Amino acid sequence: MRTAFDGSHRRRIHLFRHGDVSYVDDQGNRVADSRAVPLTEWGNEQARQMGDFVKELSFDKAVVSGLPRTVQTAAGVLAHHPLEVETMPAFEEIQANPKREAMNQPLIDVAYAFARAHEPGARYSGGEAFADFETRVLSGLNQLLADKTWNDLALVAHGGVNKVILGWAAGAGLKGFQSMDQNTCCLNIIDVDTHPETGDHVRTLIRGVNITTYDPAKKDVHLTALEMIATRLQAKKD
């Protein structure tokens, strides 16, 4: 148990995004079911590298969203940690309208679908409302924080989920949604302090954001995940 200067209990969340996947097929079309996509070969390698990177850390609880890409990523990330992995659907990714192709959505809206996340009533590509998504994710987070059995948590989730949690940690809410980039198989480190007697939340500390093993300086990272999807869809049109 870590202890803050004021005696608060300090617990650590290791928040991972899943490894590389492809939401666009070889013909340049969106995959039929984004929930079912597996990791690519590169995604599995990213998870293996991250597993080596965090092998000296201690985890006493591990959670995934349950979607295949988080389950597969956890297998690599936690390769050196013999933990039973729990599933919490509250951490599944935000859902777009499954009929968005028929909506003929402009590619500029695909690339910057998170830009208005904080606006009342805003929805992701005609699907789930950002406010409802935030409520769902934070409900799951509060459930985890109420569980006093862990000190070091490994949570393998999704880009949008991580943005909500980082927005909560920074006090930015959905206003910070579009500004917090999450590369595939990245690691974020968040400390949460609670009162030793009441368990009330005292403070949150962000220790690290978007840490990757394969390009830590982001030398070759220029596009966001949504910009990359829009780029591949544009290639089909061209």
Burial of 104 (0-12, 13-18, 19+ CB in 10 A): exposed
Residues 150, 17: Cα–Cα separation, whole Å: 20
Range of the domain at 86: 2-237
pLDDT at 181: 95
Count other C-beta atoms under 10 Å from residue 54's C-beta.
21
pLDDT tens readout for residues 178-187: 999 999 999 9
pLDDT at 103: 56
Give how many domains the chain has, as a whole number: 1
**Residue pair 82/205 in contact by the 8 Å Cβ criterion:** no
Tell me the two tokens of residue 209: 């954001």
Residues 214, 49: Cα–Cα separation, whole Å: 8
| Residue 237 scores a pLDDT above 70 | no
| Residue 142 scores a pLDDT above 70 | yes
pLDDT tens readout for residues 82-105: 999 999 999 999 998 877 654 577
Task: Give the β-pairing of 9-17 and 187-194.
Answer: antiparallel
| Residue 120 scores a pLDDT above 70 | yes
Residue 49's domain is classified under what CATH number? 3.40.50.1240
pTM, entire model: 0.94
The SS3 assignment for 16 reads strand
pLDDT tens readout for residues 42-79: 999 999 999 999 999 999 999 999 999 999 999 999 99
